[in-house]
Structure 1
């Protein structure tokens, strides 16, 4: 950026014109030079000429006027006439008199002010005779003019005053800015004043206005014919302000992005840089005036702190700010369109959908905000949302913290983290921080979310934590202990759909596997930390992650040896505790047959203990259809591995004697709570089939 651009971006925006001595950031120097050269041709003897500086609101007309004034140099007497500060025809005439009188100098003004006032007093009734300026609209200023001396014939007054002005020896330029601030009748009065009151030789005018606005104002009076033709009679030399060069707008937008990156302490990776280019390409054609650029930049800077506090993507923040300022009607509809913006489809019936084409989106844009640029607005929507295509061309690129992500969508409308959302910074610290002191405060805050009664919020936090940790392949023992504490808080909670414990388990499994396989912790430590049930769940769940599939045996071995020792020493604890089957299956999976064969034989002392032991290998498998049902199954392979063939044969006669005595259903049970007599009968029948 140039020094001018940097300075222009260093203070609060006030819509003030640029310093005439500074470099023009919009490269309009050649245009200003052309205007100056043409005005310089006018002499002190020439009839009054009206030059026009024509451009839409915000196009920088005032800045150009200042540069033209500076470029004309000392050969001119230049004054500003502000007609919009006057209330009626007489007041406007008096204001004009004062403007011209001030040009004459203090002494000359004293001599000629009365002549000017008399001249204005002669003209004011003519202005008042205009139908839209009735006598009731004239104020005290006209009574003041009526009181000023006798009135010589109009042409003599005009000649005397022309002579007085020519004695100045300089050309006079009266600059009239902000003409389009006037009402319709005021504008017509101004143009009459210029035409009837101020056409002195050597007095020239430079009037700045928006052509469309002026024509609308003139039409609203009903007192002129074709408004464009009327202006042509008043303004002899209209100069159209040039559009902003596309390159200059792109350069300034890039500068704004650099400024925001520094202010929010953000950076863009190669994907971010690609997105930034797409965004600038979409916005540049829409920012057509210096005012639009300045206003946009000011709003971006005013709320830039929210990028950090609300954990927003900087480029999405820029895009949504443009929508809020320039297509507010569309912005206000985003919440109701949120599903369609992501999917690119809308429901046409309960079972059918319709693809939303670019034409449909443009129609929606026109309905929501008729003044919005449809193409430009569609480009910005396509940048923000994956479901919006522009003629089969999508500019959306997947990225973190996107407004397209349903969990972040509302943040961009509120520019804050909603009450039903979770601060990303808490997630980041808990997921990645290895310093206990830094970890503790964030962990305490996140624990309140995970342990609270709002399951939806807790599950959102778990999902964010899971996604964040996907990028890490090194263990974090602080996080692992944190997860263990969260599981213990819910240890007595019944299994149910939507419980945060369901989301915690896969996260626990991955973090446990990372830590154990890296040698940062051991199987006994994990079992002590999480308890046997959750540790067993984690060991079985970890191989679902692709990164651990080839190491399932390595992961399970330490746990298998721990539980094999416990089965030898305390088999009764597992038989009564209901954990026998799952532990036995892991032991037989991870250890060699010679290490497990007959391992549970010491627990069998008679037929009843044999059946009690075997019942530990029965479990209810869950099936999901129109409802949940459960089927009885027996872990026969694990049983055969842990009970020796001799023990099987010893009790086989009694098993055959008791089998087939009870009728029951193996499947279709409505819950896991299956009557004990059915479980026992199924166990005996399963043993008879071995």
Structure 2
């Protein structure tokens, strides 16, 4: 419609002023950009930006400089000559001699023009423009951004020059803002300013408010370009979560195309700084809070303990009014007044923090990765980078993907992540690696399994601490093994051969097998279960079963080596961990077989074997605490000996009576263990002698 109007006006010899009025950010500049190519080539469109000039005199000069752009230098000499004359005459109205106009007007300062009246100069220029046959539209954008005196100057210029043939003006402004500023410039009221404006503008056009569907399309189209949620295994996806947040909390703030584009530009820029190390939907929501609720955004890090996590306390749920009152007070302290305003902000925050939502009796989705509600990622949403001590998830993802595709060898360590010399970073890398494996829809590759197993072998489980990198690697390996991995027969011994001792791999295998036999023992002979409830279980994946069987044979060999050794360098914790795994997997029979072979080859010594079951430590409150000094030794664990040593040997093999005959030093833990073993075996046999015979 505007294009047709302007073309119609330029076809006549008259000069008109058209106004395009609309609030800031309503899309006026976008519409003007659309008009320019649609008016060309019939109409010469020039742009005059008065707000870029400094002061009223600059506005005067820049106006005529813009007008001259419709007549390129070297053509229409008569027009350009008469423009210069009119500039000289009109400048006296503003007590200014123009100079440095640019685009062919700068030479005015060097010319001495003959004195003639304004009307005469205007008539000469009008005739020259008419003879040139040019159709001109002068676009003046952002008129309302001028100072009061500058607006008055501009209006005077348009009134003075508003009668050129086929020369029309298109003014763009916010009506209310312009009237207020013009009233200040005229030193009058708004009614006078309105009347003044009506005398200048012949065709006032109001830009209709943008429809919500149009604004939503602007945001959603840009957000789709930003988000990379294709193939997400979670429902709802990041895009769906953002669309829900937009519909519930954002649409009534983004009311103009400019506001929509400003928001999207901020989101794109700062998300690039975060290097895709955050959840996109949460980041888009936080960007909204940062732009439109900056006081709330600034306080969120201080409320961290009440926001992060997904679990809410039962007490908070039971006292919902108290939780609401506490949150309302915190929000009110940020400058929000009125019940409705506080409630809107509270709902917007709880939409991305499930813990807070739970306390308030509602719910919020917590699925996905890199979420702001996750304490491991919370700080990233406020630093726009990796906080100190954090580790790039993208690096972890790249390495896991490289292991899967073969770009990274599964045999070598990765010192910047999973094999980092710093324990904390190593643990963080393993936790992230486990998460990334869980987030990946595809089955884990054999290369990844081999790498994690090798990393665990290099960094074994530390059984004297509750959590360690090795323990986390064992958990990760257990999850990987619980999958249908494509393997060949030689892959099983390759993995077994990575470990010098069986304990760490046993930790992973027991955890993996416990999924299939939570209440019973695994029997490698036929793959059946012996659960206490008498019910069967689904068999484990083939690779896991084969690896478990091979590990039991390796663990039995290890036990035979340890038990027949006259040194006691293996820690009691590691010894008992492997024992518990063998017991769970019903593999003690393998140990009995190995000891039987030792007996046959005369490598078996009962005292030496029993010494491994005399643990260092002390009893306190019916709990046994393993010691490291070696000064305290527990009584002999005769029950485990009965599991693996033939009873005729356990009850009848002669025991040494003098410590001098022991083949180990007279001092140290070896001496203490053997002496405790002899003492325990004697008490065990004495107890047998005192047991009445069973005549049943």
> TM > 0.5 between the two?
yes
Q: Please report how far the alpha carbon of residue 71 of structure 1 lies from its aligned counterpart in structure 2 after TM superposition.
A: 7.5
Alignment of 1:51-130 (within 5 A): 51-65=18-32, 81-84=48-51, 86-90=53-57, 92-93=59-60, 107=78, 110=81, 114=85, 117-118=88-89, 121=92, 123-124=93-94
The residue aligned with 2:522 is: 552
Tell me the C-alpha RMSD between the 2 structures: 6.1
Which residue of structure 1 lines up, in the alignment, with residue 187 of structure 2?
Answer: 224
Q: Which runs of 5+ in 2 are unaligned?
A: 101-107, 314-318, 525-544, 628-633, 658-668, 689-696
Q: How many residues align?
A: 608
Matched, 1:248 2:250: no
Whether 2:445 is the aligned partner of 1:505: answer: no
Q: How far apart, CA to CA, are the structure 2 residues paired with 1:218 and 1:435?
A: 69
Partner of 1:233: 196
Q: Which residue of 1 aligns with 2:240?
A: 274
Change (3 A) 1:593 1:216: same
Q: Distance in 2 between matches of 1:103 and 1:433?
A: 61
Structure 1 residue runs without a partner (length 5+): 1-29, 126-137, 368-372, 656-671
Match of 1:614 in 2: 610
Partner of 1:464: 432
TM-score if structure 1 supplies the norm length? 0.65
Q: Give the superposition deviation at 1:394.
A: 5.5
| In structure 1, C-alpha distance between the alignment counterparts of 2:670 and 2:193, rounded to whole Å | 93
C-alpha change, 1:435 and 1:61, in structure 2 (3 Å) is closer
SS at match of 2:187: coil
**Would the aligned equivalents of 1:53 and 1:239 in 2 still touch at CA under 8 Å?**
yes
1:640 lines up with 2:679 in the alignment: no
What is the alpha-carbon distance in structure 1 between the residues aligned to residue 50 and residue 349 of structure 2?
Answer: 43
Q: CA deviation at 1:175?
A: 3.9
Q: 1:478 aligns with which of 442, 447, 453?
A: 447
Provide the rounded CA distance (Å) in 1 between the counterparts of 2:442 and 2:63: 79
Report which stretch shifted further, 482-491 or 672-681: 672-681
- Asked whether the 8 Å contact 1:89–1:189 carries over to 2, the reply is yes
SS at match of 2:523: helix
TM-score where L is the length of structure 2: 0.64
Kept after mapping to 1: 8 A contact 2:242/2:284:
no
What's 2:537 paired with?
none
User: Is the 8 Å Cα contact of residues 43 and 171 (structure 1) preserved in structure 2?
Assistant: no
Residue 190 of structure 2 is aligned to residue 190 of structure 1:
no
Whether 1:573 and 2:565 are equivalent positions in the alignment is yes
Q: Does 1:531 align with 2:491?
A: no
Shift in Å, 1:457: 0.9
Deviation of the 1:459 alpha carbon: 0.5
Decide whether the 8 Å contact of 1:40 with 1:72 is kept in 2. Answer: no
- Give yes or no for contact 1:509–1:539 (8 Å, CA) kept in 2: yes
Distance 1:190 1:119, change over 3 A: closer
Describe the SS at the equivalent of 1:553.
Answer: coil
The structure with more helix, counted as a fraction of residues: 1
Secondary structure of the residue that 2:236 maps to in structure 1?
A: helix
SS at match of 1:52: strand
In 1, distance between residues paired with 2:418 and 2:431?
Answer: 11
Is the 2:328–2:342 contact (alpha carbons within 8 Å) kept by the matching residues of 1? no
1:41 and 1:379, CA in 2 relative to 1: closer, same or farther beyond 3 A? farther
Q: Distance in 1 between matches of 2:521 and 2:437?
A: 20
> Residues 477-513 of structure 1, C-alpha deviation per residue, up to 9 Å, x if partnerless?
5344434543454469894465322322333455567
Q: What corresponds to 2:367 in structure 1?
A: 398
Deviation per CA, 1:88-145: give whole Å up to 9, x if none.
4455456556778999975467568656754663x436xxxxxxxxxxxx67679989
Deviation of residue 460 (structure 1)? 0.7
